[in-house]
Amino acid sequence: MPREDYKHQLLKAAGVANLQTVNTHEQMVRMVLYGRGTFMAANSLTLPTLLANVGASPQDLELVYTFHQAEAYVAFSQGTSADVVREWQAALNAMKRDKSFARIYAKWLPDETPPEAVPAQ
């Protein structure tokens, strides 16, 4: 995997010692596809694009193990009013109720389950 990529750092911190590093994500994908590597660490959001960049598809690989899951957040500065934060949360919850959030989520993460609405505070 690319040197000092966050996945590389996570695996090193977990004590994995036999990591082979490369210069680019595309180089990593090619190594695995052409049998010069046994496995690679990639995230579900960027993998389809990486594969397309080298002329491959998700069906060319097999998911073996999930070693890390991360969530993304919308962050507001401390000076943001609570009303603005509540409005954003209400809009997100409305998108989850009308299923527009699920449609967007499925476009970018087709094999993942979208998170549920957060109760209003």
Residue 77 burial (CB < 10 Å; 0-12/13-18/19+)?
exposed
- β-sheet bridge partners, residue 22: 2
Which two structure tokens, joined as six digits, stand for 96?
Answer: 């989850």
Residue 108 has pLDDT above 60, yes or no: yes
pTM over 0.95: no
Question: How confident is the model over 8-31, as a mean pLDDT?
Answer: 89
Closest CA to 19 of 30, 6, 3: 3
**Residue 2 backbone phi and psi in degrees, to 5:** -55, 140
For residues 103-112, average pLDDT: 83
The answer to whether the beta carbons of residues 28 and 40 sit under 8 Å apart is yes
